[in-house]
A and B are shown apart, each in its own frame.
Chain A
Amino acid sequence: GQNIDQPTEMTATEGAIVQINCTYQTSGFNGLFWYQQHAGEAPTFLSYNVLDGLEEKGRFSSFLSRSKGYSYLLLKELQMKDSASYLCAVRDSKAAGNKLTFGGGTRVLVKP
């Protein structure tokens, strides 16, 4: 099985930076995803890491360390619209069909 942990909630100020950590344990790692989900909506894809290192995409960056079972999502220059839940998901190479296991999600509240 898999165990994915991320903080439940975080609060940050508009214009600031927030880092959301995710730790995981899996029998066969085959990629880690970050999704953004606004209340009542479906998740939208943010990033994908399969190799160690940092992936940067505009204001959002994601980092992966496979040896530590650790990833983080970095949100820079926070905007009010970034208030949402951020979901870390891991794909297990031993699971059929690209199956993902999601963490509990981190609710980020951006304050003015």
Chain B
Amino acid sequence: GAVVSQHPSRVICKSGTSVKIECRSLDFQATTMFWYRQFPKQSLMLMATSNEGSKATYEQGVEKDKFLINHASLTLSTLTVTSAHPEDSSFYICSATNRGVYEQYFGPGTRLTVT
């Protein structure tokens, strides 16, 4: 199957700083990428849908000014958590898909800890 990578796999940052997470599709062009957040023992919650070259569509309750998403190319999307706080500590997972493909391919996830 298709391969999606995320970087970094783990990051610890101080409260008030910003963190950028990269999501790359390694062997296919991803017209759409999704960003999810998962708290311990909970399921994946969709944060936003990102289409290449256009603004991301955020889910209700997700602050677009806090979670900046950029999908500048068909193989890269970035999520920047701005002014991070301890409550933003979570597992962030991206997925990628392409037109005509029913499956979403998930990245390995990024564990963010805000101290």
Measured CB to CB, the residues of A under 8 A from B are 31, 33, 35, 40-45, 48, 50, 87, 91, 96-105, 107
Contacts A98-B102, A101-B46, A103-B43 known; A40 to B111 CB distance under 8 Å?
Answer: yes
When distances are taken between beta carbons in the complex, the residues of chain A under 8 Å from B42 are 104-105
Q: Judge whether B44 and A43 touch: CB under 8 Å.
A: yes
Question: Nearest Cβ distance between residue B48 and chain A, in whole angstroms?
Answer: 10
When distances are taken between beta carbons in the complex, the residues of chain A under 8 Å from B49 are 96-97, 99
Q: Which residue of A lies closest to B45 (CB)?
A: A102
Residue in contact with B109 in the complex, picked from A42, A50, A104, CB distance below 8 Å: A42
Q: Judge whether B104 and A98 touch: CB under 8 Å.
A: yes
Q: Judge whether B111 and A45 touch: CB under 8 Å.
A: no
> Does B1 belong to the interface (CB within 8 Å)?
yes
Q: Judge whether B102 and A31 touch: CB under 8 Å.
A: yes
Q: Which residue of B lies closest to A48 (CB)?
A: B102
Q: How many A-B residue pairs have CB under 8 A?
A: 57
Further 14 A-B residue pairs, CB within 8 A, beyond A91-B102, A102-B44, A105-B42: A40-B91, A41-B109, A43-B93, A45-B1, A45-B105, A48-B103, A50-B102, A87-B43, A98-B97, A99-B46, A99-B49, A100-B46, A102-B43, A104-B43
Question: Nearest Cβ distance between residue B88 and chain A, in whole angstroms?
Answer: 18
Measured CB to CB, the residues of B under 8 A from A are 1, 32, 34, 41-46, 49, 51, 57, 91, 93, 97, 101-109, 111
- A28-B109 Cα distance, complex, nearest whole Å: 29
When distances are taken between beta carbons in the complex, the residues of chain B under 8 Å from A99 are 34, 46, 49
Question: Nearest Cβ distance between residue A77 and chain B, in whole angstroms?
Answer: 24
Question: Nearest Cβ distance between residue A88 and chain B, in whole angstroms?
Answer: 9
Q: Judge whether B57 and A42 touch: CB under 8 Å.
A: no
- A42-B109 Cα distance, complex, nearest whole Å: 6
Contacts A99-B46, A100-B46 known; A43 to B102 CB distance under 8 Å?
Answer: no
Q: Which residue of B lies closest to A105 (CB)?
A: B43
- A97-B51 Cα distance, complex, nearest whole Å: 8
Q: Judge whether B93 and A42 touch: CB under 8 Å.
A: yes
**18 contacts across the A-B interface (CB closer than 8 A):** A31-B102, A40-B111, A41-B108, A43-B44, A43-B106, A44-B106, A45-B105, A48-B103, A87-B43, A87-B44, A96-B57, A97-B32, A97-B49, A97-B97, A99-B46, A102-B43, A103-B43, A105-B43
